[in-house]
Chain A
């Protein structure tokens, strides 16, 4: 089949390579484009980032560019803002993901019901998830705007508020405000995942439980939840990693401020690069982000009993 194989980029002389070897080589050719892509845009850049993290590299001080070994990492350990960003990341991830999960689950249960116009309601409820992050950020910046934004106005009309509140510049309110925005954005993710899980549960199991006298609440605890366990684990873990890495929303809405109140580790990395122009320190922060992410992924794979069960 060698001469008919259109992609065989290895027209090796017969004498040198056996048929089997040639086929193996031509098999690798299929992987070549993907390998080049990921080599050039992921693998090489990561090595480069590690390399950059070992240098003093502040763009406005090119004359001071030099190798400093682990200097950036030492600075990180001593940097109170870095530890603050880790705590903020935890708050951001914990509240975002747990509430996205809770409300996403509720919406999935609702949308799994049988009623007229279900398709339209489904589409509407999933829309916040599909739109660009910067769009989400700007929409909510407008909603939170103290004078022209609708949130203060609605709260005042409802008699819940007297003085207008500057949601995104108040130290105590800014984190809840960005988390709330992220919840709005992320609910559909869990809705989609759990809805798919709900629809995969065979109707017979519910019928059997009903025959056994299980009420609606019991059926939820003894059938629905256990059957959804795999998809809950997979979607929550994916979401935790994604939220931890996600910088767009905070970057656009507050830039990590005021006074680092919403500075999570990924936005701190960005600010180091864009505002302080300290690319060495930014690189070392991003390497630590990678290490945290890899540790979590390893734990997660162990939890789901290895890649096989995820890959199917």
Chain B
């Protein structure tokens, strides 16, 4: 990379003090709230309600985590397991469904293809509140209230349209000749898809998979509406339930917040390159 216009004093000012000042401010703003809640989660009860406010804990403790994790009223261990299961199954199923559909839309010619693409685009913009009432009566009629299936199926309503949309773009960027030669060599179309296309599109598929996982992990409205039993709640629903039930215990709540945040934060830190490339690819082409 060449450095340009170093002679320009304004540019040097902008690239030096202004850049660093802005960076520090932005980072403090982004991190501050997390730091505050993390500190709260390791404070003792007295420290939490000290007047004036005590910012740093003098006796850091993980008691709040132990209590939140083993609590019988708001069992975060159970919420965590529920979230993990619902998000993982949603992710895997979404990828299988969307890989097939994305491949078909990228490769085959058929009537109504553009309309279908438009439907996938529009569906991403549907308000979740629109689906709550009809889905509730639907899951009720099918006896799926308080089941993982209801949550997983409902999550498809927002994961599938987005991932199909993303994967079409990935598949279109892979040259047709590659799978055509595989098909001449005796693979069927499906075999060619599995052996040629999927490995080539792996980064894109990974990005959409993370998207499906993270958005299911965050999902709140379906999870609160389609479950009634405490042991069926996900982390998001469990946190809301905790707030509604008792006077807010900020220590335990802080621990719950950290428990809900850490897995997606770790996922994001390791896979952000793929995720960002995947999410912006569609918009960049526009």
Contact = CB atoms under 8 A, between A and B. Distances in A.
B202 interface: no
A7 B101 contact: no
Contacts of A107: 22, 26
A304 B286 contact: yes
Contacts of B53: 148, 150, 153
Interface residues of A, number: 110
A128 B127 contact: no
Interface string A25-40: 0111011011101101
A203 B69 CA distance: 52
Contacts of A106: 22, 26
A135 B257 contact: yes
A106 B138 CA distance: 46
B260 A131 contact: yes
B235 A132 contact: yes
Interface string B92-118: 000011101101110010100010111
**Size bracket of the B interface:** 35 or more
B235 A4 contact: no
Contacts of A153: 52-53
Contacts of A195: 276
A139 B5 contact: no
A177 interface: no
Contacts of A289: 127, 129-130
B188 A4 contact: yes
A182 interface: no
A283 interface: yes
Contacts of B280: 192-193, 196-197, 231
Interface in A85-142: 103, 106-107, 110-111, 113-115, 121-128, 130-135, 138-142
Given A131-B264, A150-B36, A207-B2, A6 B190 contact: yes
A273 B103 CA distance: 39
Nearest to A267: B129
Interface stretch (A10-18, A43-51, A60-68, A167-175): A43-51
A121 B28 CA distance: 11
Interface in A181-222: 184, 187-188, 192-193, 195-197, 200, 203, 206-207, 210, 215-217
A112 to B, nearest CB: 10
Given A1-B189, A49-B134, A150-B53, 7 more contacts: A30-B104, A31-B100, A217-B10, A233-B286, A286-B129, A293-B127, A310-B121
Interface of A: 1, 4-7, 24, 26-28, 30-31, 33-35, 37-38, 40-42, 44-46, 48-49, 52, 103, 106-107, 110-111, 113-115, 121-128, 130-135, 138-143, 145, 147-148, 150, 153, 184, 187-188, 192-193, 195-197, 200, 203, 206-207, 210, 215-217, 230-231, 233-235, 238, 241-242, 244-245, 247-248, 251-252, 266, 269-270, 273, 279, 282-283, 286-287, 289-290, 293-294, 297, 301, 304, 307-312
10 interchain residue pairs of minimum CB distance = A312-B285, A196-B280, A30-B104, A34-B101, A48-B134, A45-B134, A4-B188, A245-B127, A132-B218, A41-B157
Interface of B: 1-2, 4-5, 8, 10-11, 14-15, 19-20, 22-23, 26-27, 29-31, 33-34, 36-37, 40, 48-49, 51-53, 55, 96-98, 100-101, 103-105, 108, 110, 114, 116-119, 121-123, 125-135, 137-138, 153-154, 156-157, 160-161, 164, 168-169, 172, 183, 186-191, 214, 217-218, 220-221, 235-236, 239-240, 243, 248, 250, 253-254, 257, 260-261, 264-265, 268-269, 272, 276-277, 279-280, 282-286
19 contacts: A30-B103, A33-B96, A34-B100, A40-B153, A41-B154, A111-B23, A124-B30, A131-B260, A131-B264, A134-B220, A135-B260, A147-B51, A216-B11, A245-B127, A247-B127, A273-B132, A290-B127, A293-B126, A310-B121
